[in-house]
Amino acid sequence: MDASLKKQLEITACKVRMGIIEGVYNAKSGHPGGSLSVADLLTYLYFHKMNVDPKNPKMADRDRLVLSKGHTAPALYSVLAQRGFFEPDELKTLRKIGARLQGHPDMKHIPGVDMSTGSLGQGISAACGMALSGKLTNETYKVYAVLGDGEIEEGQVWEAAMFAAHNKLDNLVAIVDNNGLQIDGKITDVCSPMPITDKFEAFGWHVITMDAHDFDDIERAFSEAEQISGQPVAIVQTSVKGKGVSYMENQVGWHGSAPNTEQYEQAMSELRAQLEKLEG
Amino acid sequence: MADVIKKATRESYGEALAELSAEYPDLYVLDADLAAATKTGIFKKACPERFIDCGIAEANMMGIAAGMASTGKKVFASSFAMFAAGRAYEIVRNSIGYPHLSVKIGATHAGISVGEDGATHQCNEDIALMRTIPGMTIINPADDVEAKAAVRAAIDIDGPVYMRFGRLAVPVFNDKETYKFEVGKGIELRSGNDAAIVATGLMVNEALKAADMLAAEGINARVINIHTIKPLDKEIICKAAKETGVIITAEEHSVIGGLGSAVAEAVTECCPVPVVKVGVNDVFGHSGPAADLLKEFGLSAENIAEKVKAAVAAKN
């Protein structure tokens, strides 16, 4: 990847992380850990990969993204705000009465949200429906679905996985965010979905692995995905839950809790330092 | 009287979809390995390129339907009522109901008249489940004419629709030439002021038979067909409550949460009168021929007539 583009994406991802912390802190609840682990992925997709138009969020031939791990809505909202779908200031209204920014994505009211999600395992099916729809009438759009590694414990994910391969949905890319943690602990301790890559391969998908926090590697993975025809692609990204905020990294406790004022200040100061370094 | 023609509403459903396929090039039909039974196979034969078999995976099918509808296609998703409303309930609620997507759910084999397959497949709870989803329209047609008209009307409704069809062949009593279907509007089939029978689905025909029996004994029962259970035609029901003083509901569904409950909720607000419910009395069904089961569980003209007589006597 071009060095200046990479730097630009890193800067944007850092701002996205600040938006996540801003939202969750003001809401006094929400899911920072998994939001931070998909921040780079969503930044890459919305700023480099996807054909979207913030002025026309319902554009018929737009690429679509389904955040199947809907609890990480703060990351999606923050990316959409950075991309111009709405003002970043609105992130402070997250989860508040009267706000559009619901605790989980709401396609009816939030510009840029392509599917309402939140109940795990459901988004991937809707993404398959969008991809199939595109195939049936020869549309050119792509569909991206972002799943959690804990989420794939849901049986519906595998119904969808079977369906996607059977229908040769090569306009669909599912990204599994493998940060290794779910609410009750390590995914390998709770009810292990491992090995993830072998499972998707066995279901007929083309599987790619990538480092979730390295834009060069992200670019490599999505370039490979683009070459695949006749089958859906699963990208299993190795990520760090809480990435970018030192005390949140790899800590299961930050799955679904908000920072207090002191913690908020520390997170923002760490992210500001990262931003200054990138911009400096 | 001419011979009564009998036809299962699932058959009407499949035929209606096939008929609409030419008119609506963006109509797609999904099924979960039950096309031969739900009769979407009729559509598949007419229009194979717009039929999608999702396999035995109803939860995923509802999500596929939601995703397709989000891109603007007109989608019908079919399975047995037990799986469409029961197994896939939460997907219908969260992926279809919450975003208010225009998915039409064609649920066949509803109620006890599934027959020999027994309790696991006899869904007497689907109306109750679907009624709790905000913005869900629920249509339960009574015969072939009404079922076809309902499918045609549903296709243009903005938002989700749950349509309930039966396995058993039932008498076609509506006149194709004069019948008019209006979503959310009940139909008064018989006038009368001694009592009102409010029925839905295959129980409408039983209600008409009950009214004939009652007339012979000097009781004039009004008969109202409620094909749309949600939104409910409160006007026709409250008018009946005011003018007759007692309502008997009749449905092939649990007495909990279905038409009877909806009617009782309505009259409680507008004109409290006794509401006597004929339905499945909070029990599971069992295997047997449909006709025998309907009798055994009191889903018959005789039982309706008996309930009306008792209610009228209690009133006076």
Say how many Å lie between the first and final Cα of chain B, rounded: 36
Disruptive mutation site among A104, A157, A163 for chain B (greatest number of B CBs within 10 Å): A163
Instruction: Spell out the domains of chain B, with CATH numbers in brackets.
Output: 6-171 (3.40.50.970), 187-315 (3.40.50.920)
* The token pair that represents A239 in the structure block: 């990520």
The whole-number pLDDT of residue B316 equals 76
pLDDT bin (cut points 50, 70, 90) of residue B2 is low
Sign of CA dihedral B10, B12, B13, B14: positive
* The token pair that represents B193 in the structure block: 């002021």
Residue type, B206: E
Beta bridge partners of A178: A238
pLDDT bin (cut points 50, 70, 90) of residue B315 is confident
E strands present in chain A: 64-67, 143-148, 172-178, 181-182, 185-186, 206-211, 233-238
Among chain B, residues having any CB pair with chain A shorter than 8 Å are: 28, 50, 52, 54-55, 57, 59-60, 62-73, 90-91, 94-95, 98-100
Q: Across all residues in chain B, what is the average pLDDT?
A: 97
**Running DSSP on this structure, what letter comes out for residue B31?**
E
ipTM metric = 0.97
Q: What is the pTM of this model?
A: 0.97
Question: Rounded distance, CA A121 to CA A190, Å?
Answer: 17
**Running DSSP on this structure, what letter comes out for residue B298?**
T
| Catalytic residue positions of B, numbered | 58
Tens digits of residue pLDDT in B222-251: 999 999 999 999 999 999 999 999 999 999
- Which residues of chain B lie closer than 8 angstroms to A106, CB-CB? 98-99
Residue type, B155: I
Cβ atoms < 10 Å from Cβ of B120: 11
For residue B1, pLDDT over 60 is answered with: no
> CA separation (Å) from A32 to A44, A80, A236, B279?
19, 16, 20, 50
Question: Rounded distance, CA A206 to CA B89, Å?
Answer: 32
Nearest CA-CA distance, residue B159 and chain A, Å:
12
Look at residues A53, A42, A117, A19 and name the one whose alpha carbon lies nearest to residue B93.
A117
Q: Which long-range contacts (CB under 8 A, 24 or more apart) does A272-277 make?
A: A272/A18, A274/A14, A274/A244, A275/A11, A275/A14, A275/A15, A275/A18
pLDDT in tens, chain A (280 residues): 999 999 999 999 999 999 999 999 999 999 999 999 999 999 999 999 999 999 999 999 999 999 999 999 999 999 999 999 999 999 999 999 999 999 999 999 999 999 999 999 999 999 999 999 999 999 999 999 999 999 999 999 999 999 999 999 999 999 999 999 999 999 999 999 999 999 999 999 999 999 999 999 999 999 999 999 999 999 999 999 999 999 999 999 999 999 999 999 999 999 999 999 999 8
